[in-house]
Amino acid sequence: MANAASGMAVDDDCKRRFLELKAKRTHRFIIYRIDEKKKMVVVEQVGKPVLGYDDFAASLPANECRYAIFDYDFVTEENCQKSKIFFIACCMMCVNEGLLTRRA
């Protein structure tokens, strides 16, 4: 399915995996990448529900940009189990090359 605004297509597997994470909680995270040849966003990796944030962070490549979805579990002050889904745009090149700290 193509996005008219950007010209970038999104593989159907991206939506399917997201709905699995959201409705069935079968994944902890999903990492997406842009396939330059296909001009399409594709699923690169899916994390099992038992994995945590450190596993997710370690799965991100050091010198490439990625999009990701992370399902974060937490307990509120009222002792209720909650979950929030985060969309993350990650550009590790900026962090590794010190670009963010040089601007500060």
pLDDT digits (tens, 9 = 90+) for 56-103: 999 998 888 899 999 999 999 999 999 999 999 988 765 555 544 444
Structure tokens of 6? Answer: 């950007």
CB 61 within 8 A of CB 93: no
Q: Which long-range contacts (CB under 8 A, 24 or more apart) does 78-84 make?
A: 83/25
Which CATH number belongs to the domain containing residue 76 in this structure? 3.40.20.10
What's residue 7's pLDDT?
A: 77
- Residue 66 located in a structural domain: yes
pLDDT digits (tens, 9 = 90+) for 14-34: 999 999 999 999 999 999 999
Number of domains composing the chain = 1
CB 46 within 8 A of CB 71: no
What's residue 91's pLDDT?
A: 84
Domain that holds residue 91: 9-103
Phi-psi region of 79 (alpha: psi -120 to 50; beta: other; left: phi over 0): left
pTM higher than 0.85: no
- Residue 2 located in a structural domain: no
